[in-house]
Amino acid sequence: METQAPRRSPWAAQALLALDREGRYRDTCGLDLRLTRAFGFCQGVQVAVARATRAAEELAALGKPASERPRLFMTGEIIHNPRTNERLAEAGVTILPQGNGLGRLAVVRPHDWVIAPAFGITAAEEAELERIGCRVIDTTCGWVRRIWQAVRTFSEDGLTTVIHGKVEHEETRATASRVAGAFVIVRNLTETQALAAAIRRAPLSPDGPRFADTFSGKCSPGFDPEHDLVRLGLVNQTTMLSSETEAIGEILRRAVDASPAEGHFRMLDTLCPATQKRQDAVRELLAGGALDAFIVVGGFRSSNTAHLAGLGVGRVPTYHVEDAACLVSRDEIRHLPPGGHEAAVSRGWMPPAPCTVGVSAGASTPQSEIEGFWLRLIALYRGEVP
């Protein structure tokens, strides 16, 4: 799908200038486009992508055939944005296969270069790369490292670490690997309530799931609920919803207070400031009311983008799209449904003009993709593209 054509339209420059300066553009077609005051790439993502790009350029500048220079690997996606990862692949970066534990690093040789993404890598992977002796380009976000330090402190103080995060997310796996003692991962309030019941030593419902079933694969080896749920420390994956982390902290604090054991609870705010700023900006835009639709632009695998979209669900028709191409037509939109794992196509998404559409973008969404989305949205309302 051609998404660059609108940039050549007479109104495009005026629209981009207004959106950049004022965060709002009102078109003669009746579309009132409003942006959140914060959106798109955060500093940590900018640094990570720049370092990876620079490494690829440095190798290319050697002037040697690809077969005679170090290979450039990445342990996983640099960020959860498909176009960014595709551009790095085009520059010569190879993403290592996922799964198979440390076996996936077997292809790496001492003369190769390996990029550790913004989410970080596990302690075991870090040690294995050091053993291999390859060059590591570490792009781990500074806020992720702050969490690693927090969980080390928890372990030193004899606390069990509770991580509010997604067990399948690279950042949460990397953080869990830094815990020297016991840990357990909770994804949401439902799992937190199950954990709170175990903390209070509440009797299990005969029809309900056992602790071992609920937290299978989500806690440290040999985790003992009776012993390991007395002294707790809570941190969160940097991209989680701040209000949910606060609610989880309150639930756990009350459970510890109600426990028959002499417990202790400590909570550290490890949410990335950029994530918080974007969430607050979405809340602010939604609180202003008058929106006929709210659209968030970002990779479908992007946790922070999904949480931004989640703030609009139930308040206004909300869509999480990956890029401009997801605006298939004036009738169809390709989006990730709330809580979904696969994209879907919905019809009748476009509010009739005059209307007001709010737009935001995740911290891993490049400005070029955001602008391309704005312009296609406006062009659809103007009837200039199919």
Q: Residue 36 maps to which CATH number?
A: 3.40.1010.20
Domain count along the chain: 3
pLDDT score of 206 more than 80: no
Q: Which of 232, 267, 302 is the last residue of a domain?
A: 267
Reading the block at residue 268, the tokens are 């550290």
What is the side-by-side order of every strand in the sheet holding 231-236? 183-186, 160-164, 231-236, 264-267
Reading the block at residue 228, the tokens are 């390991």
Residue labelled with tokens 């991209």: 239
347 vs 335: CA distance, rounded Å: 11
129 vs 96: CA distance, rounded Å: 13
> What's the rounded mean pLDDT across residues 187-199?
94
Rounded to two decimals, the pTM is 0.87
What's the length of the chain?
386
pLDDT at site 10: 85
- Angle, in degrees to the nearest 10, between helices 43-60 and 82-90: 20
| Pair (310, 377) in one structural domain | yes
Q: Which of 234, 267, 300 is the last residue of a domain?
A: 267
> Active-site positions?
171
Q: In terms of DSSP bridges, do strands 293-297 and 355-361 run parallel, antiparallel, or are they unpaired?
A: parallel
pLDDT score of 188 more than 80: yes
pLDDT at site 208: 58
| Pair (160, 214) in one structural domain | yes
Label residues 182-215 b or e (16+ Cβ within 10 Å = b): bbbbbbeeebbebbbbbbbeeeeeeeeeebeebb
> What's the rounded mean pLDDT across residues 237-242?
90
130: domain CATH number is 3.40.50.11270
- Residue ranges making up the domain that contains 372: 5-42+273-382
Q: Which of 267, 285, 315 is the last residue of a domain?
A: 267
Q: In terms of DSSP bridges, do strands 355-361 and 72-74 run parallel, antiparallel, or are they unpaired?
A: unpaired
> What's the rounded mean pLDDT across residues 208-218?
84
Eight-state DSSP code of residue 315: T
* Mean of the per-residue pLDDT values of the chain: 92
277 vs 272: CA distance, rounded Å: 9
Residue labelled with tokens 């990335």: 272
| Pair (253, 149) in one structural domain | yes
pLDDT score of 207 more than 70: no
| Pair (193, 309) in one structural domain | no
> What's the rounded mean pLDDT across residues 141-151?
95
